[in-house]
Amino acid sequence: MQRIRAVGREAAAKKYDILSAMMAHALAGDGQDQRLVLRLMALITTRYNWQSDELVIGQRQIARLWCVDERTVKRDMARLRGLGWITVKRQGARGRVSVLGLGLERIMLDTRAAWPNIGPDYVARLSGESEPEASDTTVVPFRRPEIAAEGGIWGAARAHLATEDRALFDAWFAGLADGEIKDGCLTLIAPSRFHAAYLRTHLMDRLRTAVRRADVRITQVRIEAG
């Protein structure tokens, strides 16, 4: 999947692509998901600064926009932060509201299953692939074996990571071995020091999200070299 940022010459088209992905995801979900995504889209279209990746708005103003009470705002914003769709860039203090950002990579990953509902051209564009041509019956497509959901927290997280991005999973996550869980921290064992260092530097957010979705009681993930 291409990394998507709504800046530059094609900023307008990229914004529509992001909002289209969110819309398709919401329409494929239940009423609760639809309300949550609609509320986030309302914040994006009215108050989000695409250039600086900043959303600055107080809970009272959000409640007025959403036509709900502030308790509902706290609950739904907590859900969006838990999903990784909203990030806290600077915590509010002394009467100042928090500066929030969008987890665009996480949004696009979570909505990917609904992209085909928009069309094959959209899928090809967002995946960075050329549009599919007429199939050649003399070529047998290679299929990767499915990742079976194993038992335990890491087993569930592995299956989630493989579904999100199989190529990335095969390169960096498949080689991780389950360690121990202690005091809300899951330890994973990498095959080498380089492998562990790369994961810590580049992929920890994705790992934490997958593990927390497998079990919300896990608050930390530690990578050690085998």
Beta bridge partners of 223: 188
Helix axes 11-27, 104-111, angle to 10 degrees: 50
How many whole angstroms separate alpha carbon 185 and alpha carbon 118? 39
CB neighbourhood size of 96 (10 A): 11
pLDDT digits (tens, 9 = 90+) for 10-65: 678 889 999 999 999 999 999 999 999 999 999 999 999 999 999 999 999 999 99
pTM: 0.68
List of residues 6+ apart from 170 with CB closer than 8 A:
144
How many whole angstroms separate alpha carbon 175 and alpha carbon 154? 12
- The amino acid present at 93, given as its one-letter code, is A
pLDDT digits (tens, 9 = 90+) for 60-88: 999 999 999 999 999 999 999 988 999 99
Rg of the Cα trace of the chain? 20
Pairing, β 48-49 against β 86-90? unpaired
Could you check whether 11-107 and 152-225 share the same CATH topology? no
| CA triple 176-181-185, angle to 5 deg | 90
Q: Is the pLDDT of residue 134 over 60?
A: no
How many whole angstroms separate alpha carbon 68 and alpha carbon 201? 40
How many whole angstroms separate alpha carbon 222 and alpha carbon 187? 5
CATH for 11-107?
A: 1.10.10.10
Nearest by Cα to 185 from 221, 211, 157 = 221
pLDDT digits (tens, 9 = 90+) for 198-217: 899 888 988 988 998 899 89
How many whole angstroms separate alpha carbon 132 and alpha carbon 120? 8
152-225 adopts what CATH topology?
A: GMP Synthetase; Chain A, domain 3 (3.30.300)
95 burial level (CB within 10 Å; 0-12, 13-18, 19+):
exposed
Q: Is 140 left (phi over 0), alpha (psi -120 to 50) or beta?
A: beta
Domain spans of the chain, in order of start = 11-107, 152-225
Q: Which residue has the tokens 């929030």?
A: 100
